[in-house]
A = this chain, B = another copy of it.
């Protein structure tokens, strides 16, 4: 009997593996597909690969400012796709090699919990094997959601997973349905690689998420307009017809489009339909119910990642997995705390967020003051020709303690981390202002954004 069976080798399962192996546990892994899960194979990592390429394309018109005179260049998305495969292949192999070196068994197949200590693994040839474990961690992730009238066929109407698995060349014209994170990230990528992109979003803004302030959505929408990404807000795809290899689509506002592909990016749902036969409790949306220790209604069975009702982020899966393994085997149990979850989005701008937005604070009855600074005058950003964007720091009004931070622009996804620590430590604007920041750095924008509150405004309002 294994100490622990890990079902699903995505970012949750991977982190659980690392933690368990370091704790000296005897573990087994069940994975039906490639190691690394969606994050490594179809989402976070390949997206950031393509985004690096897209951002480099954005950079090319500026390189002559550095005396780099490029005669001409072509874009070949297939080569980028191959590069992506190489990058994720390297990372997957390093994971395989680690498991091999640690002699950790990997059962290739679909896992189903058939007893509180037993997982049945159904291999691709239909044969079944049953393995036993003292503890079980479930982390089988999520699958793309569809909308009633839009049926992914893997050819004309594709999901974000189809995009990463199969799309070795880009369509000339695409309709992206859903202006959330994945929709905005892939729209930017396709736009920079030469596709004419239409994106529809049923809400009144791109990135319609509580952690994204309205002004950030608008800032991005302006940039999409400059890039000639056709954005349709408060709009949905009403109907479409496939004819002679083209898709004729009609939007809810009456716009008619002819495109080569429809990319569906309307969210994800937990992959829990056929996960057990023993009655692990789920909510009405199919999320597995866990307590604060990540424990299901079976005391030795834990769950993490996209199958539980917490932010669908790879690092949240990893965090929960680590917590779960700790809570299984250590005396001291720890509760999940999502208050300092960093968020980042890589579209036409890098966008980072941590803590509360002004809108969220207001809805909680917290009065706020904010500190703002644009990258316009940040010397490092100017040196890099990347001076678009801004930082906004949100403080509780009376205490002037930091409660949230949003950044748009270069380095946003890294700079949210010191701000997370600052929120945790209850730093005031004055304390943040008094840190010594390296000059020139992007991070010193924090010192500038706190100047008004810490010392006083330059100009009276």
Contacts and interface: CB of A to CB of B under 8 A. Distances in A.
Nearest to A87: B382
A438 B75 contact: no
Interface string A374-399: 00010110111100000000000000
B421 A438 contact: no
A68 B458 CA distance: 45
Contact of A313 (B56, B69, B439, B458): B439
Q: On chain A, which size bracket covers the interface?
A: 35 or more
Q: Which one of A22, A322, A379, A436 has the highest number of Cβ atoms from chain B below 10 Å of its Cβ?
A: A436
23 contacts: A22-B452, A22-B455, A22-B456, A24-B456, A39-B439, A48-B379, A48-B440, A50-B66, A52-B385, A53-B66, A56-B68, A67-B83, A70-B71, A71-B74, A91-B377, A91-B382, A98-B458, A313-B439, A314-B439, A342-B441, A413-B441, A414-B441, A418-B418
Contacts of A40: 379
Contact of A67 (B53, B60, B315, B319): B53
State the main secondary structure of chain A at its contact with B: helix
A143 interface: no
Given A56-B63, A69-B74, A421-B422, A436 B340 contact: yes
Nearest to A102: B458
Interface string A194-228: 00000000000000000000000000000000000
Ranked 7 nearest A-B pairs via Cβ: A53-B66, A67-B80, A67-B79, A315-B439, A65-B83, A22-B456, A418-B418
A429 B81 CA distance: 38
Interface string A393-431: 000000000000000000101111110111001000000
A232 interface: no
A436 B316 contact: yes
Contact of A383 (B45, B101, B421): B45
Contact of A315 (B316, B444, B458): B444
Contacts of A384: 52
Contacts of A73: 68-71
Given A342-B437, A417-B418, A438-B413, A456 B67 contact: no
Nearest to A63: B56
Interface of A: 11, 18-19, 21-24, 39-40, 44-45, 48-53, 56-57, 59-60, 63-81, 83, 86-87, 90-91, 94, 98, 101-102, 193, 313-316, 318-319, 322, 340-344, 352, 377, 379-380, 382-385, 411, 413-418, 420-422, 425, 434-444, 451-452, 455-459
B65 A79 contact: yes
A99 to B, nearest CB: 11
Contacts of A71: 70-74
Q: Which one of A39, A63, A413 has the highest number of Cβ atoms from chain B below 10 Å of its Cβ?
A: A63
A352 B442 CA distance: 14
A66 B44 contact: no
B60 A68 contact: yes
Contacts of A52: 66, 383-385
B442 A414 contact: yes
Contacts of A48: 379-380, 383, 440
